[in-house]
């Protein structure tokens, strides 16, 4: 249980960090034009979601690797 608490606290600190916020802001800046209110659930939305999911997985993987997990 203690290990899980340490892990969750580390993830929480990471998502509150300036580094994480900068990565998300950069992604939003580069992808915001895809969401133009013309068509809901377009292929561009799906592709942007996949890129976002991939970015999140990469960020969290780096965090866990840095924690030797």
The pLDDT of residue 37 is above 80: no
CA angle 37, 42, 46 (to 5 degrees): 115
Please report the pLDDT score of residue 47 as a whole number. Answer: 92
- What's the CA gap between 28 and 68, in Å, rounded? 30
- How sure is the predictor about 25, in pLDDT bands with cuts at 50, 70 and 90? very high
Please report the pLDDT score of residue 55 as a whole number. Answer: 96
The pLDDT of residue 9 is above 90: yes
- How sure is the predictor about 32, in pLDDT bands with cuts at 50, 70 and 90? confident
Mean pLDDT, rounded, for 36-49: 82
Q: What is the pTM of this model?
A: 0.77
């Amino acid at each position: 249980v203690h290990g899980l608490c340490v892990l969750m606290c580390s993830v929480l600190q990471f998502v509150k960090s300036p580094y994480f916020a900068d990565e998300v802001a950069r992604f939003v800046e580069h992808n915001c034009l895809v969401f133009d209110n013309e068509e809901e659930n377009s292929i561009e939305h799906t592709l942007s979601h996949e890129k976002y999911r991939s970015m999140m997985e990469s960020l969290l993987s780096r965090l866990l690797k840095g924690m030797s997990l």
